[in-house]
Amino acid sequence: MKEAMDIKTFEIRDSATTIPVLCVRVNMAELERPDFEQFRDGGWAADEEGIVYMIEIPDPCRAAYDPFNWNSRARTFCDAHIYVKTEWDKLVSGQVIDVEFINGEKETCKDNEWKARE
C-alpha cells in the first residue's frame, strides 16, 4: 500500500544554477475522505495518481503542481519537475536533478553543491 503522501528533497542543477526544492507526491487514491475534500477544492481529481507538488526553497518561495506553470527559469523547473514526476520511485531524497544531464547536454550528472563545500 502506498502512503497518501511521499516527501523528498532534491537539488536542481542546470547551467550556473543550483536550487534546493522540496517535493510532495500526493497519491489521491490513498487519501481519506476529509483529506480528499481539501485537495478537490484545490482542483485535483480523485482519479489522478502521483501528483508532484514542487516547492522552491530559496526566497521567494514558489510552488507548483503543474510542471508548465513555472513563470521564470521555465526550462530548469519544467524539465526538472517532469523528470521528478516520471522518475519518482527511482529517485532518493537529496539526489541531484541535473537538467543538462537529463537533456543529454552533459555526459555525467553534477554532484551536490553542498558536498563540494565540505
Residue of 71 and 31 predicted with greater confidence: 71
What tens digit of pLDDT does each residue of 31-45 get?
A: 665 666 666 666 666
What residues does each domain of the chain span? Answer: 5-116
State pTM to two decimals.
0.81
- DSSP for 12-47 reads EEETTEEEEEEEEEE-GGG--HHHHHHHHHTT--TT
Q: What is the CA radius of gyration of the chain?
A: 15
> pLDDT per residue over 11-69, tens digit each?
999 998 888 999 988 777 666 656 666 666 666 665 566 677 878 887 678 888 788 88
> What is the overall mean pLDDT for the chain?
81
